[in-house]
Structure 1
Amino acid sequence: MDPGLSPHTISNEFKRKTWKQTFLLSFQIVGVVYGQLSTAPLYVFGTVQESDTFSEEVVYELFSFIFWTLTIISLLKYAFIVLRADDDGEGGVFALYSLLCRHAKVGLLPNDRSSNEVMHYEAESPFKIKVESRARRAIEKHKSSHYILLFLALFGSCMTIGDGVLTPALSVLSASSGVQRSLSAITHRFSSSDHTQESVSKALERLSYWEDYILSFQASTLPFHFLCMMYLSRQACAILVFLFMLQHFGTRKIGFMFAPVIVVWLLLIGGVGAYNIFHWNIEIIYKIDPIYMLRFVRSIDIKRWRLLGSIILCVAGSEAMFAHLGHFSKKSIKITFICLIYPLLVLCYAGQAAYMSKNLHDEHFNHLREAMPHQWRHLFVALSLFASAVGSQASITASFSIINQCLALGCFPRVKVIHTSKKIHGQVYIPDVNWLLMILSLTVTISFQDMVKIGNATGLAVISGMLVTTSLMSLIIALYWEKNLTVSACFLLCFGIFEAAYLSACLLNFHKGAWYLVVLLALSMTIMLAWHYGTMKKYEFDLHNRVPVEWLTDFSPSLGVSRVPGIGFIYTDIVTGIPAFFSHFITNLPAFHQVLIFVSFKSLPVPYVEASRRYLIGRIGPKDYRIYRCIVRYGYCDGIRDTDDFEEQIIRSIGEFITMEQNNVETTDSSEGRMVVVGKPLPVGNALVSLNDNDTYMGPGNLVDNEAQISPVGDSMETDKDCSPVMRKKVRFMLPANSPKMQASIREELQALVDARESGSAYFLDQSHLVVRDGSNFLKRFLIKIYVVCDKNSRQPPVALKIPHAALVEVGMVNTI
């Protein structure tokens, strides 16, 4: 701090910096979070059949529904209530689920229940369970409620993924339909005159370079409308491919690229909406009266009720406000919505309704393009193509975020996750998922080519995800906020009934496109449930077949087990005992390394774990055996899996443990003894000192460096799968200079650790194969087969862990479950 600055000046500079950051985040938010919500006017009224809006009263009733749906769901529910339920700054369905896992003990994560005291923080930490209540006891007592909550979290995640498939197709197709109507208008104009086919071809040449391709099909022999549909489909597919190819740039860059487009788009539709209100029907302002909704309900029938399946699309993208909370600040999200998004959207929908009410007999009167003044339509068509691509960004990035959380909680097969921001850990990009979403989105676009059917499926995905959030939020109010059960019930009833009405309308459109979402749901839910089930069964097998520590420390000498120089890293899911695959290895090859380190990566139901509390180090057996256990705790949004110096951190943590063990340090008790929380700075001369050697060497070698470090399964960059030589920078450790602070026994053990590291490292991984026991039911066999297929085709642990091929030891076993 500059001593010449007064506290008042420092405070003002901090405020200016804070407001500047808020403004920049608000600018990015427009292009990332609110893109889908801002482009919804392209297809809300457009997905309504023209024959269903047969009178001004119907238009007024639908507009009243749009206004109050935006106000109740987007503004009241999400902006003012749900945003408050953040999990240490993170949002989304799994953020709510993780809060319930911590504060109501409903988690079904694959952890050893007997060693929860090892896995969780200490009493003063945020993991402390709150005072017992009747509701909390009831939920914790019934195991079925735990499975229901997990199912809700996975169901909400599947709806987010489904939205990531459908929204890009719907947005781009709805914008491209404006071009199709332009082509249809040209067709009608030319067909009503004496122009020849040659004149039609010349006109098309001025529209697009695709004409050369179209003419190769001999347009004179094909229906012209079919050619227009081919042109529309190719145009939409090209935009979709371009959109998904941009994803690797990351949320921040995409936000700055897309935000100006959405800002201009919002100003255009908002300004034209205000113009239409005064030009066509200024009385539309008074139609927000809820009495029009009551009239709609009073004269209800199945045909009219289906219209609500299109109206719910006006809030498509509201869930992104909460899902992207980890990408941006709560203040910037709320300010942008209240001051910019909400008022401009209300003006747009009001202006479109005003135009529709006075032009019911025009062709395509329910499309936003028709509500534009004639001199603005060309600009609208061009801008809508860009805005529709941007509008899909929110659903795509939300899919990345939710899958990243599913990965950390053991509910999705292993895929590579790339963190695109060093400052904001929640901004991720998943290449495999990105291309899969692109293929599915292209399939929808080519197969349906009908925005009404895609809109029906999207509406079902939107309202289903909102109902999941409402259900989980009611439990958050009762169990986390500790409000009265009456408050929780009121929240569930007020929003749940409103959303259930929309859900019933979307289900009526099941045969008109909504069935495709059910197919996506069945596919994604089967994969998630199978992976979670297989992971749980594999963990239970490892837990039941683990070997006591005494087998390794007391009986191994009598078995003739010899010690070899170097360090052996044994990766296992269990945090107590000796894993069965390692005992199987020792039985068949009676030898293990001079230093053994049992490493376990454990995800906790929190977004982040502090670096100073991440590593738990303990000792197995007597000191002279040099066997340690390292438990790495991380949150579902932590970037620890991208760390390039992970093995160095483990070695350093064990060095700190050796130094701290005999002192009064912070510990946790386990069945094997003390587990020391390491990571806090130690006094100089009390820990290992890393020495970076500038020399490099070639070849696979056994020396471990900071470019072949270890990280938990899933997120780090891919390494070469072959054994080709790789240039690596060597990182060595040395003992601190002679200091009276360090005891001779500690120095001796630290020296043994350094010598073992210099001798090389080996990595032991379990390569178990799950086999279903004879006589098992069909469901169990089916889930295990799906798990085996996913396990074989997902990212392999040696690649994800960056293990040198020459130092890898995979131990195969057959697990019968």
Structure 2
Amino acid sequence: MTDSTSGSSNKSIRLGLCLGALGVVYGDIGTSPLYTMRECLHHLKGMDRADGVLGILSLMFWTVMIVVNLKYLLFVTRADNRGEGGIFALLALSHTGAPAKKNSRRIVGFSTFIVLCGAALLYGDGVITPAISVLSAAEGLATFNPDLQTKIVPIAVVILAFVFFVQSKGTETIGRIFGPVMLIWFTTLGIFGAWHIFDAPEVFRALDPTLGVSFLLTQPWEITAGILGSIVLTVTGAEALYADMGHFGRKYIAQAWLFLVWPGLLLNYFGQGAYVLANPLDQTNPFFALAPEGGLRLFLVGLSICAAVIASQALITGTYSLTRQAIQLGYFPRLRIRHTNAEHAGQIYISLINTALAIGSIWVVLEFKTSADLAAAYGIAVTGTMTVTTFALYLVTRRYWKWPLWKSLSLCGAFMVFDLIFLGANLHKFTDGGWLPVVIGLGILAIMHTWKSGRSEIQEKVYGGAITELELTDIVKSESIVRVQGSAVFMVATPSGTPLALLHHLKANKCLQKTVVLLTISTWEVPQVEDSERLSVEELGEGIWRAVGRYGYMESPDVNNLVTRVAERGVPIKPMSTTYFFNREMIITGGNARMWQWQKSLYAFLSRNATPVKDYYQILPTQIIEIGLPVQL
């Protein structure tokens, strides 16, 4: 390959990554102009409109500058776990201080609990974002034809139903058009904004940060809280810059932001502000008012709906990924995960999560009916997650980056003050709908904490006093134990001791296969495990081997593949004729476990309804034997 050809290929790859980031990373924040300025203007009644608009624009500009450019792009995205980002990457780094350290099985600690709160709030965001994005875009139809006003809610419901329905088909085909559509979207935002920005050139005064601060200081707290609660809508979706970093890389996410997304958003917001100043009596949503009535207005509405669908898609698939990470790290019950693309492990579908999000989003549209009412529910989850991210970043700077205390406190303290101001300003929304993401978050948090605590208790009760490998080899040498032809794999939760399934098998059948593998699936607090670290095999004697398969929190275990690799290490085992033995836990409450009674009951319910381990590991049912294991919590 010539240098010119290689350079052209590398350039195409770079452009492809930037384009992909547009479709996945910036869908949520990219649809914020649909409703943010409109919501801010609601708080300007009874005051000088010109001063209010300039103050709002100043707050918008500097909020984006501080939250996105400074906090996320400059600092948070540096906290990568082997190139991956997201709330669980921060959790892993803050736990271990080293990216390859194994997952801890201890009871949930304070710092972990706080980070889990942030993760739980993301589920509330996953319900509201598709609803408000699609509803806001559909409302644009009424600016084109007022007769469509009564049909907005049914149209939004149909669009959402379609979006969630196609999830099971996979996103490969539709994903290819995400980037180009969002390229057109951000270009259109910039063009329409620039078209009107000189209607009132004084909007450039808003670049002065003192304009926004002085505007807030001259208003009563009720007005200030309302404006700040709406201003934060400009940065909804900023978390995606970090969460999707592993897909595109920090460099290309930053380039897409700096060279297209940020300019397009700023031009559009300032264009909306200029239009409002030049047309003070126009009550139309300033976003759609940027396009003249007729064909261009219809084009903008149609493009808005496409952008809203893409923003929804990104949130939905992001929630799948978040759930898989939580399952792998032991914070969520096992769910059936289906891979929709054999070539891309990250493209997954989780039916239960998809159904829950679909029901939640459609119910939200039917309940709130307008994006203006729904905006009241938006903000608490976003600011809560941003606050938790700052807390986790502080832990990373201290434990992983080894910063001195003064440096960590200076940086993260400044971010925390900013986050808490916005969080406090959004608390007044609680009774108007802000309770919704909080309730969803509390429900998810209860599940996460209960499942992790229950698993820790079971590990201690079941495996704390397990017999050693030496004792096992002595047992199988007993004359009362018959060694039969064939091979067996006993799944064991810990890489030491003996699985109870094997002991029950010996007690009941008085026989044991000539080849036995004790297999443990271990999750490390890293996104992916290097192939060289994937498997370790140790011979214990008497035809017994111990194997440990290691996976990252963004990977799905493949036991069949592991056993094939075990055979390649010289273990006399035939994967297709091997029998797999599992424990089937039967939870009984009323014990002395360190859990509340409601948690014990919840864990028992979750355990009964979780996808069985045998299904999660993708093993043929004809090769499986389950042995009941009563456990009292």
Q: TM-score range by the shorter chain?
A: over 0.9
The reply on whether 1:295 has 2:214 as its aligned counterpart is: yes
The reply on whether 1:794 has 2:610 as its aligned counterpart is: yes
Q: Which residue of 2 aligns with 1:650?
A: 566
Q: Are residues 16 and 483 of structure 1, via their aligned partners in 2, closer, same or farther at CA, if it must alter by over 3 Å?
A: farther
> Which of 248, 263, 282 is the equivalent residue of 2:201?
282
CA contact under 8 A between 1:770 and 1:788: conserved in structure 2?
Answer: yes
Q: Which residue of 2 aligns with 1:353?
A: 273
Q: Are residues 377 and 764 of structure 1, via their aligned partners in 2, closer, same or farther at CA, if it must alter by over 3 Å?
A: same
The reply on whether 1:24 has 2:16 as its aligned counterpart is: yes
* CA apart distance, 1:569: 0.7
Q: Are residues 551 and 559 of structure 1, via their aligned partners in 2, closer, same or farther at CA, if it must alter by over 3 Å?
A: farther
Q: Partners of 1:64 and 1:241 in 2: how far apart?
A: 38
One-letter code aligned to 1:92: G
Q: Partners of 1:276 and 1:240 in 2: how far apart?
A: 32
Q: Partners of 1:576 and 1:401 in 2: how far apart?
A: 30
Q: Partners of 1:108 and 1:166 in 2: how far apart?
A: 35
One-letter code aligned to 1:162: G
The reply on whether 1:764 has 2:549 as its aligned counterpart is: no
The reply on whether 1:86 has 2:80 as its aligned counterpart is: yes
One-letter code aligned to 1:314: T
One-letter code aligned to 1:147: G
Q: Which residue of 2 aligns with 1:684?
A: none
* CA apart distance, 1:370: 2.5
One-letter code aligned to 1:284: V
SS of residue in 2 equivalent to 1:447: helix
* CA apart distance, 1:767: 0.9
Instruction: Name structure 1 gaps, 5 residues minimum.
Output: 114-142, 187-206, 208-227, 656-749
CA contact under 8 A between 2:387 and 2:416: conserved in structure 1?
Answer: yes
The reply on whether 1:74 has 2:36 as its aligned counterpart is: no
Instruction: Give the fraction of aligned pairs with identical amino acids, expressed as a percent.
Output: 30
Q: Are residues 47 and 793 of structure 1, via their aligned partners in 2, closer, same or farther at CA, if it must alter by over 3 Å?
A: farther
Q: CA RMSD in A?
A: 2.5
Q: In proportion to residue count, which structure has more helix?
A: 2
Instruction: Name structure 2 gaps, 5 residues minimum.
Output: none
> Which of 30, 35, 54 is the equivalent residue of 1:38?
30
Q: Which residue of 2 aligns with 1:128?
A: none
* CA apart distance, 1:571: 0.4
SS of residue in 2 equivalent to 1:317: coil
* CA apart distance, 1:180: 3.6
- Provide the TM-score with structure 2 as the length reference: 0.93
* CA apart distance, 1:94: 0.7
Q: Are residues 78 and 652 of structure 1, via their aligned partners in 2, closer, same or farther at CA, if it must alter by over 3 Å?
A: same
> Which of 551, 566, 570 is the equivalent residue of 1:634?
551
The reply on whether 1:65 has 2:59 as its aligned counterpart is: yes
Q: Partners of 1:459 and 1:548 in 2: how far apart?
A: 53
Encode CA deviations 1:510-554: one digit per residue, 9 max, x unaligned.
111101111111211111112112211111122223123344322
Q: Which residue of 1 aligns with 2:408?
A: 488
Q: Are residues 362 and 490 of structure 1, via their aligned partners in 2, closer, same or farther at CA, if it must alter by over 3 Å?
A: same
- Structure whose alpha-carbon radius of gyration is higher: 1
- Aligned 1:191-202 pairs, distance under 5 A: none
Q: Which residue of 2 aligns with 1:783?
A: 599
Q: Are residues 455 and 523 of structure 1, via their aligned partners in 2, closer, same or farther at CA, if it must alter by over 3 Å?
A: same
* CA apart distance, 1:73: 0.8
SS of residue in 1 equivalent to 2:513: strand
Q: Which residue of 2 aligns with 1:476?
A: 396
SS of residue in 1 equivalent to 2:583: strand
CA contact under 8 A between 1:764 and 1:808: conserved in structure 2?
Answer: yes
Which one is further off, 446-455 or 465-474? 446-455
Q: Are residues 758 and 334 of structure 1, via their aligned partners in 2, closer, same or farther at CA, if it must alter by over 3 Å?
A: closer
One-letter code aligned to 1:232: I
- Aligned 1:468-617 pairs, distance under 5 A: 468-558=388-478, 560-617=480-537
The reply on whether 1:156 has 2:150 as its aligned counterpart is: no
Q: Partners of 2:141 and 2:336 in 1: how far apart?
A: 38
CA contact under 8 A between 1:32 and 1:251: conserved in structure 2?
Answer: no
Q: Partners of 2:592 and 2:343 in 1: how far apart?
A: 52
SS of residue in 1 equivalent to 2:585: strand
CA contact under 8 A between 1:566 and 1:758: conserved in structure 2?
Answer: no
Which one is further off, 577-586 or 625-634? 577-586
One-letter code aligned to 2:582: L
Q: Which residue of 2 aligns with 1:98?
A: 92
CA contact under 8 A between 1:47 and 1:452: conserved in structure 2?
Answer: yes
* CA apart distance, 1:612: 1.7
Q: Partners of 1:421 and 1:87 in 2: how far apart?
A: 24
Q: Which residue of 2 aligns with 1:127?
A: none
* CA apart distance, 1:791: 2.1
> Which of 178, 182, 191 is the equivalent residue of 1:258?
178
One-letter code aligned to 1:803: I
Q: Which residue of 2 aligns with 1:681?
A: none
- Aligned 1:234-273 pairs, distance under 5 A: 234-248=154-168, 250=170, 252-273=172-193
SS of residue in 2 equivalent to 1:373: coil
CA contact under 8 A between 1:547 and 1:580: conserved in structure 2?
Answer: no
SS of residue in 1 equivalent to 2:537: strand
Q: Which residue of 2 aligns with 1:734?
A: none
Q: Are residues 528 and 599 of structure 1, via their aligned partners in 2, closer, same or farther at CA, if it must alter by over 3 Å?
A: same
Q: Are residues 57 and 759 of structure 1, via their aligned partners in 2, closer, same or farther at CA, if it must alter by over 3 Å?
A: closer
* CA apart distance, 1:244: 2.1
SS of residue in 2 equivalent to 1:307: helix
Which one is further off, 806-815 or 233-242? 806-815
* CA apart distance, 1:637: 1.9
CA contact under 8 A between 1:92 and 1:322: conserved in structure 2?
Answer: yes
- Provide the TM-score with structure 1 as the length reference: 0.73
Q: Are residues 499 and 759 of structure 1, via their aligned partners in 2, closer, same or farther at CA, if it must alter by over 3 Å?
A: closer
Q: Are residues 420 and 74 of structure 1, via their aligned partners in 2, closer, same or farther at CA, if it must alter by over 3 Å?
A: farther
